[in-house]
């Protein structure tokens, strides 16, 4: 593995990116609100990546993105590059079904095990290529001896790069911060942002040891039914527990007994006792509660604004002669194997489009920061590293 220079993912994506809000960075493409009627999306409903409604919106955006650059072409197949076996494979399957496209997906997550690939079928019948090496994305770097690289796998199924193909690339822990290689730096930025936000709101009553204990304990799959695997919800829970309105052990007992079923029940209970909160916490609670009630999946805005600054602060900030091990541990890097595949397929006419489940507030600068020169994450240069 080595460093290949500094780039931004906009090198191969341009502004063909949607973050969690499903509003393309390329303003020539329709916003989520503009697509609600076409996609039969209820007012006020914000679909998440695993939802069929999300897939319908993305399929519409992809078709219109293709028309912008190749008006005579029609999309006929979809290739997906991601990093999570369940969420990304399901999203890929849903988008294939919504668009009426056959496809293939690459799901990468680097491990210390010998190089290997597993092939699985989605419920819709599409094929997923699961690899523990990102190098499997390229023929020249593939470490597998008895299994074809992903491009060879696609070619054998007549999924070739051309104007009728869309290459849909997940951003977080795929195009940047490759899972199993560099993803920990993305997580570090998020935890730093949560701690910074909770600390500033609790002021002198903030206990960093207790905060980290609560966060690490609840940030586990066992508690996903309660937290909905939503970092905004988890940050808010840490804030409320830090205020001593509830005791952590009592909350755990209520979760395990089934008395505390989910986050909505929790925040509803806080709402009934908000008079017991200090005025500063009451204000932020009311803001978050209102966002939750209206269906906003990213209700804790101050946390996400801090996450943006913590994330972009870890991109491209280290010197070019920094040792590779230090870069991997401390800077969010572009995955060279993803970059090379995207550039190669784009040169052959393929539409390359980026998909991110990171909230817009954590991915795009505020107007104030934009004036200061801050960039969207997809336009920020950082080092590219790979095989």
Q: What is the mean pLDDT of residues 273-292?
A: 95
pLDDT beyond 70 at 145: no
Question: What does the pLDDT look like over 270-282, one tens digit per residue?
Answer: 999 999 999 889 9
Strand order in the sheet with 351-355: 17-18, 351-355, 165-170, 77-82, 103-108, 127-131, 117-121
Rounded CA separation 175/336 (Å): 8
Backbone angles phi, psi at 381, to 5 degrees: -75, 145
Rounded CA separation 9/171 (Å): 9
- The chain-wide mean pLDDT, for the chain, equals 95
pLDDT beyond 80 at 140: no
Answer yes or no: are the C-beta atoms of 206 and 280 closer than 8 Å: no
pLDDT above 70 covers a percentage of the chain that reads 99
Question: What does the pLDDT look like over 56-66, one tens digit per residue?
Answer: 999 999 999 99
Question: What does the pLDDT look like over 187-230, one tens digit per residue?
Answer: 999 999 999 999 999 999 999 999 999 999 999 999 999 999 99
Q: What is the mean pLDDT of residues 2-26?
A: 97
Low-confidence winner among 7-11, 39-43, 249-253, 360-364 (lowest mean pLDDT): 39-43
Which positions ≥6 away from 159 have C-beta within 8 Å?
A: 77, 79, 102, 103, 104, 165
Q: Are strands 2-7 and 382-386 parallel, antiparallel or unpaired?
A: antiparallel
pTM above 0.75, yes or no: yes
Strand order in the sheet with 382-386: 2-7, 382-386, 334-335
Binned at pLDDT 50, 70 and 90, residue 44 comes out as confident
Q: Is residue 64 classed as helix, strand or coil in its secondary structure?
A: helix
**Neighbour tally for 195: CB within 10 Å:** 20
Q: What is the mean pLDDT of residues 153-165?
A: 95
């Amino acid at each position: 593995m080595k460093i290949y220079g500094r780039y931004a993912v906009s090198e191969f994506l341009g502004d063909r990116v949607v973050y969690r809000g499903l509003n393309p960075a390329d303003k020539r493409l329709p916003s989520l609100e503009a697509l609600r009627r076409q996609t039969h999306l209820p007012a006020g409903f914000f679909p998440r990546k695993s939802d069929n409604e999300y897939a319908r919106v993305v399929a519409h955006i992809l078709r219109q993105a293709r028309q912008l650059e190749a008006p005579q072409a029609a999309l006929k197949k979809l290739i997906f590059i991601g990093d999570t076996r369940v969420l990304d494979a399901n999203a890929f399957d849903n988008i294939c079904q919504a668009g009426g496209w056959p496809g293939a997906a690459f799901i990468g997550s680097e491990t210390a095990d010998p190089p290997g690939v597993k092939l699985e079928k989605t419920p819709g019948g599409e094929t997923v290529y699961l690899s523990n090496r990102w190098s499997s994305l390229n023929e020249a770097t593939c470490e597998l001896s008895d299994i074809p690289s992903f491009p060879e796998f696609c070619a054998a199924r007549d999924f070739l790069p051309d104007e009728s193909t869309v290459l849909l690339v997940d951003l977080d822990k795929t195009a940047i911060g490759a899972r199993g290689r560099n993803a920990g730096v993305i997580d570090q930025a998020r935890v730093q942002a949560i701690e910074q936000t909770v600390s500033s709101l609790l002021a002198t009553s903030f206990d960093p040891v207790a905060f980290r204990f609560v966060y690490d304990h609840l940030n586990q799959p066992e508690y996903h039914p309660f937290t909905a695997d939503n970092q905004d919800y988890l940050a808010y829970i840490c804030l409320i527990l830090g205020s001593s309105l509830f005791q952590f052990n009592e909350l755990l007992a209520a979760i395990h007994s089934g008395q505390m079923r989910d986050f909505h029940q929790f925040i509803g209970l806080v709402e009934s006792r908000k008079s017991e909160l200090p005025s500063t916490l009451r204000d932020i609670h009311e803001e978050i509660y209102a966002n939750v009630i209206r269906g906003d999946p990213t209700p804790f805005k101050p946390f996400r604004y801090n996450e943006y600054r913590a994330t972009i602060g870890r991109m491209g900030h280290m010197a070019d002669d920094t040792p590779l091990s230090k870069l991997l541990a401390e800077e969010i890097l572009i995955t060279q194997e993803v970059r090379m595949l995207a550039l190669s397929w784009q040169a052959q006419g393929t539409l390359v489009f980026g998909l991110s489940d990171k909230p817009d507030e954590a991915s795009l600068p505020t107007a104030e920061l934009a004036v200061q020169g801050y960039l969207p994450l997809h336009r920020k240069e950082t080092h590219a590293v790979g095989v």
